[in-house]
């Protein structure tokens, strides 16, 4: 599932052709994805100007001139693909419709944005912009790791007394929003902390030190266009490249990259997810 860097990469790709543009027509080709689409979704989108594109955690949010916000979740295999861009950033002509093109935005500027999702784990919803904090998917989210509300004392306080592994704590969207399996593994390697350590038993100084590491890992991944493992592509159809910089993720049995460490990357399953780490230098 795309994590924060992949979703931010998609948002940045969509912004030049969607922000300030009017949706001339919206085609909704099925009644649902992971959940049913909101009532009259096509009609509520048609004719609206996209005032602003934002990201919250793993969701893209499009603020509309109607006072509503469109929430987009890519799910496991969802892609937002741009064609016919009048700004000249994308060279793709409008392709022929495909089986899994579930929602299509025809923009007045001549571009077309297609939401394609073969596995249909994605989702879209419409909500009042002024009440977005009450939305069931957003109300439970913790601070944004790249935002001003995420700092060392917040993470230290969140970890106090927690008997869960640090890997699980960092994946808890109530503690910090947007982190997923890949970037938690990479963060813990840089921090020198085993994913099996109990969150509440890590020294406050080490917990605090994870905050800038989290920011660095995410910023580097965004700069690289995210990580492409299976389905993820950027909005222009290009692949992300951060997977070529992984220190631990997916490297089971390979040599540790840390200077002076002769360990090998191991894999352990935690809550049904694979954790990759170096037992020799992550304690």
**pLDDT value for 82:** 87
- Catalytic residue, candidates 58, 112, 190, 233: 58
Digit-coded pLDDT (tens) for 61-79: 999 999 999 999 999 888 8
Check whether residue 237 and residue 193 sit in a common domain: yes
Residue 11 sits in which domain range?
4-134
- Answer whether residue 238 shows pLDDT above 60: no
Check whether residue 165 and residue 103 sit in a common domain: no
Q: How far apart are CA 46 and CA 194, in angstroms?
A: 50
Check whether residue 124 and residue 158 sit in a common domain: no
For the whole model, what pTM was predicted? 0.88
Q: Is residue 115 part of a domain?
A: yes
Distance, CA of 235 to chain centre: 14
CATH code for the domain in which residue 77 is found: 3.20.190.10
Check whether residue 100 and residue 171 sit in a common domain: no
**End residue of a domain, out of 134, 161, 191:** 134
Active site residue 2: yes
Active site residue 58: yes
CA atoms within 13 A on the CB side of 65: 11
Check whether residue 121 and residue 187 sit in a common domain: no
Check whether residue 230 and residue 177 sit in a common domain: yes
Check whether residue 101 and residue 34 sit in a common domain: yes
Active site residue 198: no
Check whether residue 23 and residue 86 sit in a common domain: yes
- Answer whether residue 21 shows pLDDT above 90: yes
- Catalytic residue, candidates 16, 120, 273, 279: 273
Q: Is residue 260 part of a domain?
A: no
Q: How many domains does the chain have?
A: 2
Which token pair is 249? Answer: 């993720």
Q: How far apart are CA 199 and CA 191, in angstroms?
A: 13
């Amino acid at each position: 599932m795309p994590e924060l860097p992949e979703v931010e990469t998609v948002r940045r790709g969509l912004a030049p052709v969607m922000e300030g543009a009017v949706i001339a027509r919206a085609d909704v080709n099925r009644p649902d994805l992971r959940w049913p689409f909101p009532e009259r979704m096509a009609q509520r989108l048609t004719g609206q100007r996209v005032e602003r594109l934002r990201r919250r955690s793993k969701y893209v949010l499009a603020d509309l001139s109607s006072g509503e916000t469109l929430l987009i979740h890519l799910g496991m295999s969802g892609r937002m693909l741009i064609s016919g861009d009048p700004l000249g950033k994308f060279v793709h002509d409008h392709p022929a419709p495909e089986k899994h093109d579930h929602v299509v935005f025809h923009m007045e500027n001549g571009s077309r944005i297609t939401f394609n999702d073969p596995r249909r784990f994605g989702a879209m919803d419409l909500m009042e912009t002024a009440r977005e904090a009450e939305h069931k998917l957003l109300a439970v989210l913790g601070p944004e790791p790249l935002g001003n509300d995420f700092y060392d004392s917040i993470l230290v306080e969140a970890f106090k007394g927690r008997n869960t592994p640090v890997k699980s704590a960092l994946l808890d969207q109530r503690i910090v929003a947007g982190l997923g399996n890949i970037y938690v593994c990479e963060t813990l390697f840089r921090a020198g902390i085993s994913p099996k350590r109990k969150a509440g038993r890590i020294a406050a100084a080490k917990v605090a030190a994870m905050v800038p590491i989290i920011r660095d890992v995410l910023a580097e991944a965004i700069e690289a266009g995210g990580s492409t493992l299976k389905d993820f592509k950027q909005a222009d159809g290009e692949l992300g490249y951060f997977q070529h910089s992984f220190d631990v993720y997916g490297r089971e049995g390979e040599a540790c990259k840390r200077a002076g460490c002769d360990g090998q990357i191991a894999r352990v399953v935690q809550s049904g997810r694979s954790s990759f780490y170096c037992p020799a230098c992550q304690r």
